[in-house]
């Protein structure tokens, strides 16, 4: 199956695209997009890969599934298009960066600037039906993104994995901790953050300290 994805990823995921589960997944996604309003738009489903080729990956942030509100999702976890109000989880991410690194709030919630520095902003599920959170879970995306994590773990060294919340933490089993740094905490959503499971995790500073130690450039969060 020919999938329109960035070339370095296509080279390592080609076998996955020909597996029965992935063909069934694509059939499901096509039908959903034909019959319902879904996000992100079709051309942006693999946007995280487009903006962060495999050889550029330095940090992986794992989300759950795309925002399901109109105009929000554009293929990068936690990110929203410019001009779109920042969702609560994203606001809490920026609050933690402010506390951790002393950086002011950005003008918008578009995280493409992170992706272009080597931050793979990957959702466990890459599509969703409008206004129905989790509606495309359990259809095969999780198996696909498991494979992505395994490939990064096996083919890269000294990558920082930021795993926030229960869904993301399940992916930790796919990561070789001898080769990479895994940082986990509660999810930045208000439900988790306000109960003390998010704020103060200092993940952004820890990630940069690790990258510098390994001779890499820190991320301009």
Active-site residues, by number, are 65
Which string of DSSP letters, residue by residue, matches the chain?
A: ------HHHHHHHHHHHTSHHHHHHHHHHHHHHHHS-EES-GGGTTHHHHHS-GGG--EEEEESS---STTT-SSSTT---TTSPPPHHHHHHHHHHHHHH-PPPPSS--THHHHTTTEEEEESS--EETTBTTTTTTSSHHHHHHHHHHHHHHH-SS-EEEEESHHHHGGGGGS-TTTSEEEEE--SSHHHHTTTSSTT--HHHHHHHHHHHTT-PPP--
Q: Name beta bridge partners: 60.
A: 120, 161
């Amino acid at each position: 199956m020919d999938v329109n994805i960035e070339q370095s990823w296509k080279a390592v995921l080609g076998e996955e695209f020909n597996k029965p589960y992935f063909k069934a997944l694509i059939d499901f996604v096509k039908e959903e997009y034909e019959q319902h309003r879904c996000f992100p738009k079709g051309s942006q489903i693999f946007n995280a890969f487009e903006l962060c080729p495999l050889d550029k990956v330095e940090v992986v942030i794992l989300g759950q599934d795309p925002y399901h509100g109109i105009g929000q999702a554009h293929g990068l976890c936690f990110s929203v298009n410019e001009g779109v109000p920042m969702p609560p989880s994203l606001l809490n991410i920026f609050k933690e960066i402010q506390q951790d690194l002393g950086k002011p709030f950005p003008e918008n919630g578009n995280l493409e600037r992170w992706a272009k520095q080597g931050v793979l902003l990957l959702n466990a599920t890459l599509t969703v039906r409008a206004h129905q959170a989790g509606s495309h879970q359990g259809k095969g995306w999780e198996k696909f993104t498991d494979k992505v994590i395994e490939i990064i773990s096996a083919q890269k060294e000294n990558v920082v994995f930021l795993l926030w919340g229960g869904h993301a933490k399940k992916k930790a089993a796919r990561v070789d901790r001898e080769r990479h740094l895994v940082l986990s905490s509660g999810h930045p959503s208000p439900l988790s953050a306000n109960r003390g499971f998010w704020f103060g995790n200092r993940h952004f500073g820890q990630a940069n300290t690790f990258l510098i130690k390994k001779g890499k450039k820190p991320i301009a969060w």
